Structure 1
Amino acid sequence: MRTVVITGGTDGLGKGLALHYLRHGARVIAVGSTPAKGAALRAEAAAESAADRATFLQADLTSVAATRELVARIQSASPTVDQLVLCAQRYRLFGPRSVTPEGFEHAFALGYLSRYVLSHGLRTALEGAPRPVILNVGTPGVPLGRLHWDDLQLERRYGGFKATLQAFRANDLLGAAYPSRYPNTPVRYVGYHPGVVSTGMPHHLPPPWRALTRATFAVLATSVPKAVAPMTHLLDEPPADAFSAYQRKRRLAVTGRAFDEAAAARLHEVTRELIGAG
């Protein structure tokens, strides 16, 4: 029985993927921050006669220490992980800069550092699977945002959009760096842009933007079940290349500044120093 680990697995795309794999006989470990949502997922799993294969793990992914503890809990629950899906995201596009207790800017901590720790921390568990794959859900191929190398925590000039886009660009480099870190690994790393998907994201926006986003979703957004289909194809039939990127079904060229190998190696080393990685 394969094991699928999904962060953000109790909401939106993550929940859609969790239910899909539960219906198809997999064991799913869904990571989230809200016990009530975890209980709701387990109730839906029970309705599908899959309660015994659904595990909810509560974790604060804004914390590096908590994410490391999560890695240990996952390894304890399942020594082998077939598929790791990184979906957890909470947009803070407006308002003042927010810092975690460990001193990291919120979007950088949740949107990038947690994915770094999970990607590297679960590598051994993934390598025990026959066709291991990491699917990092973000916005590869979007030419917006950049790494602020001299101010990664955006202490001097903060903006919610700037912070969110920086985290996305950091994830592009995270995927690009992975093969060079582990040249003989069987793990396939995929950066994935799902497009506009009808999720609960507007709930986290202030009223004027919430209404506008909902109206946009009503016209342009893909439903979660439709958005899940191309994702499951990549997870079940991962590309041969060690690293690849997709925008829905369209494969992207992993070249240029967004996936620059030197920048990817630099960010990897900077991140190791930031979090004290061994």
Structure 2
Amino acid sequence: MKHIVVAGGTDGLGRAAALDRLAKGDTVVVIGRNPMRGAEFLAAAEALGGGDRFVLGYEMLDLLAAAPRPLILNVAGPGSGTGQIRWGDLGFAQGYHGLRALSQGGQLNDLLGIEFARRAPAPVRYVLLHPGVVDTGLSGDYDLEMAARVQAMRVGAQSVAQAVRPILDVLNNPPADPLTAIVQGRPLDVRGPAFDSAAAARLFGETTRLLADFGVPSPVGAGES
């Protein structure tokens, strides 16, 4: 039996993956924001009989290191590059633009994964995986431009049942490397220019500093170099 944590597991791909693992007898912890969807997930889980991602990952390091095949699977959009990061305004507080914020968020997500894989103990594997566009919740508060883009994305999107398959494949057969990136079944070179280790270390420092401003202590491993 495996122990699995799914951040964003009450809808879409996260929900499909969580219910699949529950049906196979695994222990699953699901994190979500919407109480109604949470209740719906619990009802679906019962029918089977069965915080923040940055802080969560580091706070689980001791548990991950003790597991037989520890894995963090981040469903994201790896490989988008690091050229457009606004280091002085990571939250896009000035001149917000939905598409640019989305692009930067994808890049920052990659960088946090890179640094986590570098700091995590040897048994832990980290996988960045993009299954392709999925006709899932795509929830959010969008401006008119972004809402039109989201609607256009739905036209050729995969179903959740199709897109969850590569996710389950990785859960069942974790890769051996500390860091892996996969886009629609194609592995990416995590030593390439899109995976900038210096930028990853810089973002780790910025993130821990921002957390400290809100009274959140540095996560486990934050003092390591």
SS at match of 1:257: coil
Match of 2:206 in 1: 270
- Whether the 8 Å CA contact 1:139–1:192 is kept in 2: the answer is yes
Match of 1:117 in 2: 55
Match of 1:128 in 2: 66
Match of 1:13 in 2: 13
Confirm or deny that 1:197 pairs with 2:134. Answer: yes
**Percent of aligned positions with the same letter in both sequences?**
42
CA distance in 2 between partners of 1:271 and 1:38 (Å): 28
Match of 1:32 in 2: 32
5+ residue gaps, structure 2, are 219-225
- Whether the 8 Å CA contact 2:79–2:195 is kept in 1: the answer is no
CA distance in 2 between partners of 1:202 and 1:128 (Å): 35
Superposition CA RMSD, Å: 2.2
- Whether the 8 Å CA contact 1:202–1:214 is kept in 2: the answer is no
More contact order relative to length (CA 8 Å, sep ≥ 6): 2
- Whether the 8 Å CA contact 1:13–1:228 is kept in 2: the answer is yes
**What is the Cα deviation at residue 160 of structure 1?**
2.0
2:76 partner letter:
G
Match of 2:223 in 1: none
- Whether the 8 Å CA contact 1:202–1:210 is kept in 2: the answer is no
CA distance in 1 between partners of 2:80 and 2:62 (Å): 31
CA distance in 2 between partners of 1:6 and 1:273 (Å): 26
Distance 1:144 1:198, change over 3 A: farther
**What is the Cα deviation at residue 202 of structure 1?**
6.2
Equivalent residue runs for 1:65-144 within 5 Å: 67=51, 114-143=52-81
Indicate which of 140, 153, 178 corresponds to 2:116.
178
Give the paired residue count. 214
CA distance in 1 between partners of 2:58 and 2:72 (Å): 10
Residues 14-64 of structure 1 show CA distances to partners (whole Å, capped at 9, x for unaligned) of 1111111111111111111122211111111222222xxxxxxxxxxxxxx
**What is the Cα deviation at residue 161 of structure 1?**
1.9
CA distance in 1 between partners of 2:141 and 2:203 (Å): 29
1:34 partner letter:
N
| TM-score normalised over the length of structure 1 | 0.70
- Whether the 8 Å CA contact 1:202–1:213 is kept in 2: the answer is no
| TM-score normalised over the length of structure 2 | 0.85
- Whether the 8 Å CA contact 2:81–2:195 is kept in 1: the answer is no
- Whether the 8 Å CA contact 1:145–1:162 is kept in 2: the answer is no
SS at match of 1:134: strand
